[in-house]
Amino acid sequence: AAASIKHVLSRRDCLIAASMLFIVVGCRTLLHHLSAACSEGTARTHEGVCSPGSSARALANGFCTHFPLWLCLTVSIHSGVNAHIHDRWSVGLVLVYQAVSVAAGVIAGLVGIGGGVIFSPFFILAGMDPLIAVSTSSTCVLFTSSSTTFQYLFTERIQISLSFVYGAVTLLASYVGTSLVHQLQERISAKRSLISLIVAAGVGVSAALSLVQFLTLVHEHGTAAK
Dump pLDDT digits (tens) for 120-156.
788 888 888 777 777 788 788 777 778 878 888 888 7
> Is 103 a residue whose pLDDT tops 80?
yes
* Residue 189's pLDDT band (cuts 50, 70, 90): low
What integer pLDDT is reported at residue 2 of this predicted model? 46
CA angle 5, 10, 13 (to 5 degrees): 85
Provide mean pLDDT across the span 91-99. 90
Looking at the chain, the whole-number percentage of residues with pLDDT higher than 70 is 78
- The 10 Å Cβ neighbour count of residue 115 is 24
What integer pLDDT is reported at residue 9 of this predicted model? 67
Provide mean pLDDT across the span 86-91. 86
> Is 161 a residue whose pLDDT tops 70?
yes
Quick: pLDDT tens for 19-71.
988 998 888 888 888 777 776 654 444 445 566 556 777 788 888 889 999 99
pTM: 0.66
- The 10 Å Cβ neighbour count of residue 48 is 12
Distances (CA, A) of 204 to 56, 93, 100, 118: 48, 26, 18, 11
> Is 7 a residue whose pLDDT tops 50?
yes
What integer pLDDT is reported at residue 137 of this predicted model? 82
Q: What is the DSSP letter of 51?
A: S
With the C-alpha atoms ordered 57, 62, 65, 71, is the resulting torsion angle positive or negative? Answer: negative
- The 10 Å Cβ neighbour count of residue 135 is 16
3-state SS, residue 7? coil
